[in-house]
Amino acid sequence: MRKLQLQGYGTALPKKAIHFGKQTRYRVSQDENQLHLAVQAAGRALAKAKMTIDEIDCIVSASAVGIQPIPCTAALIHEQLAKGTDIPALDINTTCTSFITALDLISYPLEAGRYHNVLIISSEVGSLALNPKQKESFELFSDGAAAMIFSQSHDEQSGIIDSIQKTWSEGAHATEIRAGLSAVHPKQYSEATKEEFMFDMKGKQILSLSVKKLPQMFYNFLAKNDMTTTDLDLVIPHQASRAMPLVMEKLGIKPDQFIDLISEYGNMVSASVPFAFCQALEKKRIRQGNKVLLMGTAAGLTTNMLLLQL
Amino acid sequence: MRKLQLQGYGTALPKKAIHFGKQTRYRVSQDENQLHLAVQAAGRALAKAKMTIDEIDCIVSASAVGIQPIPCTAALIHEQLAKGTDIPALDINTTCTSFITALDLISYPLEAGRYHNVLIISSEVGSLALNPKQKESFELFSDGAAAMIFSQSHDEQSGIIDSIQKTWSEGAHATEIRAGLSAVHPKQYSEATKEEFMFDMKGKQILSLSVKKLPQMFYNFLAKNDMTTTDLDLVIPHQASRAMPLVMEKLGIKPDQFIDLISEYGNMVSASVPFAFCQALEKKRIRQGNKVLLMGTAAGLTTNMLLLQL
């Protein structure tokens, strides 16, 4: 058990909701952006934790796409929340599972006492880069943010029981925004190239690779911890697509055992997992002592599983 | 001491060198890119360590600017080096000090035995985004990459003695590429906006903030470890600018006590620190048992110090 304690959490959504049939999606308007969402979610997490920013000693941005190429996103969030302090700020990125990777990694220096209170923020405005020609992804994504604060703890009953990450780069091009950074500089933007700057998701390829790899990883992970699916109080999966419940079924996770926000909120990229985690806490679906599994597949193809005891 | 062992290291440079007076800079040609440099450096690190990729159990990309907005850079490097394996791949970013932050963070799971052999790669092709109108930065940067492999160790004499990171976001806009990600999408690229997509460095502002903040941080860090500057066998600073030697002088570090590659190679953004580290090893300026200080300021403004015993 890597001991840690959840102190606070908060989310933020754009004001505008749109609908595709029964699916609701949130999209930023002209006067909203990624930084606003991140700062709003972080402010709410601090309020919930009854903490001020001076009590935080590490700010981690765990998002797929950043705000600017330079500096890192955490530094820009720092400017809004923590200007005048010397709190370290850094980015950790594994696309859609960035939050899980960040919590996983940061739990080590947290347990070692290097940091005492860490603020992790995932924020995304994927709607800016959607391709109207790709109906599946165009109707899937929401913008949003979620932030959580974790603290060093001496309680042996609360923390990360185990975690694992695997990357299968056979899927490296199944989810992409190819252009915009060093591979294709924005100076090459034109009518002819514009789709290279948009989100491109090969849903079937991802699903097929996930279904091939995920079950073995999941069963091995549970077995390593002497557990079966019935020992899990709640599974919080990345809200990857409308096929997510099918993947859960394939893993033997019952419908009332996992969070499904696809119809209500869609896929918020890296913000999906912490957003669903915050919802589960807010709606009291989980309580102290519960075993909660965060899991998700991300562009890469990367898969993370992190088993937490609250 | 967070125990770890350096296993191997490698660097890569573009084939083309250009000159500004007595300053040599390396810049990619059409047939070279960030991924090539990263993979070449990583291959050389593996060869030096006499290891194959199957022995690596975590691949970290520690670069300021990525290859694609999605997926993360480590996944794209994974595809070239490790396709068919399930080695986890992730990005850690604090701009110019990304390598130090990555080594700092990853040393915790390495010591805990979560990972045994970690490959950290910093790669940059900053030349793609330089502004010819800003002579100072236009003549400063080189493209390049460096990779290092660190392993779990049980030797009490070798590892990280101490490390620290601070971010002062008063300097958040002193070093920027403002446009290209969510703040300004590439669809807004035009003759009128093109400079927003280029590197913008306010050298004087960075130097003034650094000189104000750095000495106190440096002396406190040494004092905390019961050391003075004379205890340092070598300082490996980020090759930030031609003013770097002046900053070293201000900190009381003697000319023969630090690495200065500014004339020969310039500033390689995140690749500068590991590149200089590799050079120091290759030229036998440091050996087992030596105390080496990695340090640097990065966009943010972030400063990292990491004291290593080889």
Whether A165 and chain B come into contact, CB under 8 Å, resolves to yes
Chain B residues with CB-CB distance to A84 below 8 A: 170
Indicate if the pLDDT at residue B203 is higher than 90: no
Chain B residues with CB-CB distance to A72 below 8 A: 64, 93-95, 299-300
Chain B residues with CB-CB distance to A60 below 8 A: none
Residue of A nearest to B76 (CA): A172
pLDDT value for A251: 94
Domains B2-156 and B160-309 share a fold: yes
Whether B28 and chain A come into contact, CB under 8 Å, resolves to no
Whether B212 and chain A come into contact, CB under 8 Å, resolves to no
Chain B residues with CB-CB distance to A194 below 8 A: 187
Q: Which positions 123-162 of B are in contact with A (Cβ < 8 Å)?
A: 125, 128-129
ipTM computed for the complex = 0.97
Q: Do A34 and B183 touch (CB under 8 A)?
A: yes
Average pLDDT over residues B278-291: 96
How close B142 gets to chain A, by Cα (Å)? Answer: 14
Specify the DSSP element, H or E, that contains B164. Answer: strand B159-167
Indicate if the pLDDT at residue B63 is higher than 90: yes
Q: Do A183 and B86 touch (CB under 8 A)?
A: no
Which CATH superfamily hosts domain B2-156?
Thiolase/Chalcone synthase (3.40.47.10)
Whether A305 and chain B come into contact, CB under 8 Å, resolves to no
Indicate if the pLDDT at residue B243 is higher than 90: no
Q: Do B181 and A101 touch (CB under 8 A)?
A: no
Burial of A256 (0-12, 13-18, 19+ CB in 10 A): exposed
Indicate if the pLDDT at residue B242 is higher than 90: no
Indicate if the pLDDT at residue B30 is higher than 90: yes
* Domain layout of chain B by residue ranges: 2-156, 160-309
pLDDT value for B293: 98
Q: Strands B117-124, B144-151: parallel, antiparallel or unpaired by DSSP?
A: antiparallel
What tens digit of pLDDT does each residue of B110-139 get? 999 999 999 999 999 999 999 999 999 999
Indicate if the pLDDT at residue B185 is higher than 90: yes
Chain B residues with CB-CB distance to A74 below 8 A: 94, 167
Contact A112, B108 (CB under 8 A): yes
Chain A residues with CB-CB distance to B14 below 8 A: none
Residue of A nearest to B67 (CA): A182
Contact B72, A96 (CB under 8 A): no
Q: Which residues contact A181 (CB under 8 A, 6 or more apart)?
A: A69, B65, B66, B67, B68, B69, B180
State the best of A4, A28, A70, A85 to mutate against chain B, taking most chain B CBs within 10 Å. A70
Q: What is the rounded CA–CA span in Å between residue A64 and residue B70?
A: 7
pLDDT value for B122: 98
What tens digit of pLDDT does each residue of A39-53 get? 999 999 999 999 999
Q: Which residues contact A234 (CB under 8 A, 6 or more apart)?
A: A257, A258, A259, A280, A285, A286, A290, A292, A293
Structure tokens belonging to residue A233: 């109080």
Average pLDDT over residues B154-179: 96
Residue of B nearest to A165 (CA): B88
Q: What is the rounded CA–CA span in Å between residue A132 and residue A130?
A: 6
Chain B residues with CB-CB distance to A128 below 8 A: 182, 185
Fold of domain A160-309: Peroxisomal Thiolase; Chain A, domain 1 (3.40.47)
What tens digit of pLDDT does each residue of A148-202 get? 999 999 999 999 999 999 999 999 999 999 999 999 999 999 999 999 999 999 9
Whether A202 and chain B come into contact, CB under 8 Å, resolves to no
What tens digit of pLDDT does each residue of A198-224 get? 999 998 899 899 989 999 999 999 999
Indicate if the pLDDT at residue A293 is higher than 90: yes
